Chains A and B, each alone.
Chain A
Amino acid sequence: MPGQATHGAIVQFEHVSKSYDPAATRGKNIPGAVNDLSLTVPAGKICILVGPSGCGKTTSLKMVNRLIEPTSGRITIDGVDIATRELTELRRSIGYVIQQVGLFPHQTIGDNVATVPRLLGWPKARLRARSEELLSIVGLDPAKYRDRFPSQLSGGERQRVGVARALAADPPIMLMDEPFGAVDPIVRDRLQNEFLRLQETIAKTILFVTHDIDEAIKMGDLVAVFQTGGILAQFGTPLDILAAPASAFVARFVGQDRGLKRLSLLRVSDVDLRPAVTARPGDSAEDARRRALDDPDRYLLLIDPSNRSLGWIAHGDIPNEGTLSEAMANPVSPLVNKRTTLKDALSMMLDADVQTGIVVDSSGAVQGLITIDSIARKMRDGEHAPAFDLAELDPNDELEALGGPDAPANEPLEAGVPLP
C-alpha cells in the first residue's frame, strides 16, 4: 500500500435531515433523527461524530453509504451528489467498520479481508496478495491468521480484521461505527493508537461514531458534537471544543474535567520554555554564584559536555571559591521532551514534588525548562469566555448515556523520558 494508496475525499453534508414517521415506527428500535445537518469533512481528516444515544450520529454516518436515505438535503463526495451514484458501486468505494465487526463466520480471515476486491472482480492471485498485505498492516501474521475462521480469533483480533477488510479496496473514505466499542479498555487503547499511526500513512477521510467523549478527543482531527434531536451542537477541533464549549449541553457533555482533558491534548512544544542558567563541572564557583542570580528561582543547572543535565545547584549551596563538581548537583527534576503531553509533564513534576521540568531533545541535551506556572498560564490563555450562562451548568445533572464520567482514562500517546 505505501506510495500507491488513494487518499481521502471531501465529504459534505448540505442541509441533511432525516425524520421518521412516529406512527410507522412505533415500538421499533428506531435510529435517531437528523435535523438540518451541514458539515464538511476535509480530505484525509478524522471527523468524530459524538453524542448521547439517539442523537442521530449513527444515522448521519449511514446516510453516507446510503444504508439510510435522507428525507431532505444532500451529501456529496468530492462534489458529486451520492444520490446520483449507483448504490453498490458507491458502497464498494467506502470502507465500513461496525462495532460487532460483522465478519463472515463461514469464510476464512483471508477471504473476509478480500471481500470487496472479490466483489470488484479482482483476479485470485491479486486477492490473496492483497489480503496478506492488509493482515500485515493491521499487525496480524498472514501465515498464522489467513486460514483461520473468525470464531478462532479474540475480539481485538477480529476488530483488526474488520479494519483490514474495510481498507481492502483502498477506498478514499472510511465509515467507522463505534469500531472499538466492543473490546476491553486496554485493547481499545492499543487499537486506537495503532489506528492513529496507520492513518498517518493512509490519510483516509474518516467518519467515526462514538459515544465516548474521551475517544472523540483522542481520535479526532475534528469533532462534531450532536445533541438529542439530531442537532449539531458544535463542530470544531477537540481543543476548540474543550476550550470554548458552544453551549451548556456541550460543556456538560465534555465533562467537568475538560481542563484536564485539554492538558492531555497539549504538548510541551505548545508552551513557551524558559531558558536554563547552566554551568559545567570545573567552572569557577565564584562566577557561578553570580550567574545563578539570573535565574528567577536562583538555581543553576549543571550540564555535562554533551549538554545533558546533571542536576540543580541552589544559589545558596554554591561555595564561595573553588570549582563546581558533579557531586553538588541534585537531579530531582523530571526530564520531558517536546512531544510529552502537558498532562504527563505536570504529573511527573507533581510526583517528583518540584516546580520545574527539564525539556531535553532526543539525545538528552537540555533545551529549556517548563514550569507548573507556565502550564497554568497556557491553560488560562486558551480558555475563552463561555458563550452561555454558566448558571445553566448544574453539577448534579444526570450524565447517563454520555459515556464521559465512567469512560476509562486514555493512556498518554507518549510518556516522558524516564529519569536518569
Chain B
Amino acid sequence: MIPGRPLIDFGWIAGHLGVIAERILQHLQLTILPLLVGIVISLVLAIWAVRQPRVYGPITLVTGLLYTIPSLAAFAIIIPIFGLTLIAALIPLTTYTLLILVRSFTAGFGAVPSEVLEAAEGMGYTRRQRLVRVELPLAVPLMIAGVRLASVTTIGLATIVAVLGNSFGGLGQLITEGIQNLFPTEYILGAVLSVVLAFAADFLFVRFERLVTPWVHARAGSN
C-alpha cells in the first residue's frame, strides 16, 4: 500500500469497468463449465453406485483422493500435458466437484422411500421409467444441495486459475495483479466480487430448488 492513496480508488474502478466485467464473465466460465461436466460425470457414477452398491466405496475413495490434491500441485501436474490452456484450468476444477456431487447425488437416490420404489415396480414401471420419472425427481432436492455447495467451492477455487495466465484468469487475475502492484483496490475488488458471485449462485440455486420441487414446500398453506 502506498501511503497517502485511499484504500479503495473508485476512480480506478470507474475507469476499468470493461476489464472488470470481462473478468466476471471469465470467472463464470471457470465455474459453470466444471460444474456442468462434474454434474454429468457424477450423475453417471451415482446411478452406477445405486445399481451396484459395491462400487460406491471405490468411487468415493477415488473422488476423495482427487479432492485432497492441493490445487497448485494439480496445475503443476497438468500444465506439462495441456500447457497454459483453458482445458488445463478446467480439469482440476471439475475433479474437485466430483466428491461433493457424487456423495449428494447418491444420498439423493438413497433418500427415495423404499415403498415408493416398490409401488412403482409393482405398478409396472420399467427400470428406466422408474429412474427417470420417480427416482431422479425425488433425488433433486439433495442433488441441488450438492450443486450449491460445489458451486460455492468452485467459485472460490477458480481464483487460483490466475496462475495459468491472463487470457481466462477470471477474478483471480484481479487479485494477483493487485498484490503484485501493491494496489489494494484491485485485489479487494477481486475478492469482494468472488464472494458476491458465491452468494448470488447460492441464492439462485435456492430459488431454483423451490421452483422445481413444489411438493417439498407444499405442506403448509393449502391444507
When C-beta atoms are compared, the residue in chain B nearest to A67 turns out to be B122
Residues of B within 8 A of A152 (CB): 218-219, 222-223
Is residue B213 contacting chain A, with contact meaning CB distance below 8 A? yes
When C-beta atoms are compared, the residue in chain A nearest to B137 turns out to be A106
When C-beta atoms are compared, the residue in chain B nearest to A88 turns out to be B124
Residues of A within 8 A of B118 (CB): 67, 98, 102
Is residue A92 contacting chain B, with contact meaning CB distance below 8 A? yes
- Which of B116, B129, B214, B215 is close to A102, meaning CB atoms less than 8 Å apart? B116
State the CA gap A150–B138 with chains docked (Å).
13
Residues of B within 8 A of A103 (CB): 116, 119
State the CA gap A67–B124 with chains docked (Å).
10
Instruction: Determine if B129 and A119 form an interchain contact, defined as CB atoms under 8 angstroms apart.
Output: yes
**How would residues 124 to 138 of chain B score, 1 for a CB under 8 Å from any chain A CB and 0 otherwise?**
111001000010011
State the CA gap A116–B214 with chains docked (Å).
23
Is residue B9 contacting chain A, with contact meaning CB distance below 8 A? no
State the CA gap A67–B117 with chains docked (Å).
12
Is residue A96 contacting chain B, with contact meaning CB distance below 8 A? yes
Query: Shortest distance in angstroms between B115's beta carbon and chain A's nearest beta carbon?
Result: 4
Interface residues of B in 99-148 (CB under 8 A from A): 113, 115-126, 129, 134, 137-138
Residues of B within 8 A of A105 (CB): 113, 116, 138, 215
State the CA gap A151–B217 with chains docked (Å).
10
Residues of A within 8 A of B137 (CB): 106
When C-beta atoms are compared, the residue in chain A nearest to B215 turns out to be A149
State the CA gap A87–B218 with chains docked (Å).
35
State the CA gap A99–B118 with chains docked (Å).
11
State the CA gap A352–B156 with chains docked (Å).
84
Residues of A within 8 A of B116 (CB): 102-105
Residues of B within 8 A of A98 (CB): 115, 118-119, 122
When C-beta atoms are compared, the residue in chain A nearest to B112 turns out to be A105
State the CA gap A104–B215 with chains docked (Å).
10
Instruction: Determine if A106 and B124 form an interchain contact, defined as CB atoms under 8 angstroms apart.
Output: no
**How would residues 103 to 121 of chain A score, 1 for a CB under 8 Å from any chain B CB and 0 otherwise?**
1111100000001100100
State the CA gap A91–B223 with chains docked (Å).
33
State the CA gap A104–B137 with chains docked (Å).
10
State the CA gap A150–B219 with chains docked (Å).
9
Residues of A within 8 A of B125 (CB): 88, 119
State the CA gap A364–B148 with chains docked (Å).
73
Q: Given A98-B118, A104-B134, A105-B138 in contact, is the A151-B219 Cβ separation under 8 Å?
A: yes
Is residue A89 contacting chain B, with contact meaning CB distance below 8 A? yes
Is residue A148 contacting chain B, with contact meaning CB distance below 8 A? yes
Residues of B within 8 A of A102 (CB): 113, 115-120
Instruction: Determine if B119 and A96 form an interchain contact, defined as CB atoms under 8 angstroms apart.
Output: yes
Residues of A within 8 A of B214 (CB): 149
**How would residues 179 to 223 of chain B score, 1 for a CB under 8 Å from any chain A CB and 0 otherwise?**
000000000000000000000000000000000011100110011
Query: Shortest distance in angstroms between A37's beta carbon and chain B's nearest beta carbon?
Result: 20
Is residue A100 contacting chain B, with contact meaning CB distance below 8 A? yes
- Which of B115, B117, B126, B129 is close to A101, meaning CB atoms less than 8 Å apart? B115
Residues of A within 8 A of B123 (CB): 91-92, 96, 115-116, 119, 165
Residues of B within 8 A of A88 (CB): 124-126
Query: Shortest distance in angstroms between A143's beta carbon and chain B's nearest beta carbon?
Result: 13
Is residue A59 contacting chain B, with contact meaning CB distance below 8 A? no
When C-beta atoms are compared, the residue in chain B nearest to A166 turns out to be B123
Is residue A65 contacting chain B, with contact meaning CB distance below 8 A? yes
When C-beta atoms are compared, the residue in chain A nearest to B218 turns out to be A149
Instruction: Determine if A100 and B115 form an interchain contact, defined as CB atoms under 8 angstroms apart.
Output: yes
Instruction: Determine if A65 and B122 form an interchain contact, defined as CB atoms under 8 angstroms apart.
Output: yes
Query: Shortest distance in angstroms between B222's beta carbon and chain A's nearest beta carbon?
Result: 6
Residues of A within 8 A of B113 (CB): 100, 102, 105
Residues of A within 8 A of B218 (CB): 148-149, 151-152
Query: Shortest distance in angstroms between B162's beta carbon and chain A's nearest beta carbon?
Result: 42
State the CA gap A96–B213 with chains docked (Å).
27
Interface residues of B in 53-75 (CB under 8 A from A): none
When C-beta atoms are compared, the residue in chain B nearest to A92 turns out to be B124
State the CA gap A107–B119 with chains docked (Å).
14
Query: Shortest distance in angstroms between A106's beta carbon and chain B's nearest beta carbon?
Result: 5
Instruction: Determine if B115 and A96 form an interchain contact, defined as CB atoms under 8 angstroms apart.
Output: no
Instruction: Determine if B122 and A148 form an interchain contact, defined as CB atoms under 8 angstroms apart.
Output: no
State the CA gap A96–B124 with chains docked (Å).
10
Instruction: Determine if A119 and B124 form an interchain contact, defined as CB atoms under 8 angstroms apart.
Output: yes
Query: Shortest distance in angstroms between A90's beta carbon and chain B's nearest beta carbon?
Result: 8
Interface residues of A in 63-107 (CB under 8 A from B): 65, 67, 87-92, 96, 98-107
Instruction: Determine if A96 and B222 form an interchain contact, defined as CB atoms under 8 angstroms apart.
Output: no
Residues of A within 8 A of B213 (CB): 106
Instruction: Determine if A116 and B124 form an interchain contact, defined as CB atoms under 8 angstroms apart.
Output: yes
When C-beta atoms are compared, the residue in chain B nearest to A89 turns out to be B124
When C-beta atoms are compared, the residue in chain A nearest to B133 turns out to be A104
Query: Shortest distance in angstroms between B58's beta carbon and chain A's nearest beta carbon?
Result: 23
Residues of A within 8 A of B134 (CB): 104
Instruction: Determine if A91 and B138 form an interchain contact, defined as CB atoms under 8 angstroms apart.
Output: no
State the CA gap A100–B214 with chains docked (Å).
22
State the CA gap A106–B138 with chains docked (Å).
7
Residues of A within 8 A of B124 (CB): 87-92, 116, 119
Identify 13 new A-B residue pairs, CB closer than 8 A, beyond the known A98-B122, A148-B222.
A67-B122, A88-B124, A90-B124, A96-B123, A102-B116, A102-B117, A105-B113, A105-B138, A107-B215, A119-B124, A152-B218, A165-B123, A175-B122
- B binding-site residues for A, Cβ under 8 Å: 113, 115-126, 129, 134, 137-138, 213-215, 218-219, 222-223
- A binding-site residues for B, Cβ under 8 Å: 62, 65, 67, 87-92, 96, 98-107, 115-116, 119, 148-152, 165, 175
A-B contacts, 11 listed (Cβ < 8 Å): A88-B125, A91-B121, A98-B122, A102-B116, A102-B118, A106-B215, A107-B215, A148-B223, A152-B222, A165-B123, A175-B122
Task: Across the A-B interface, give the 9 residue pairs with the lowest CB-CB distance, nearest first.
Answer: A102-B119, A91-B124, A92-B124, A100-B115, A96-B122, A102-B115, A149-B215, A88-B124, A149-B218
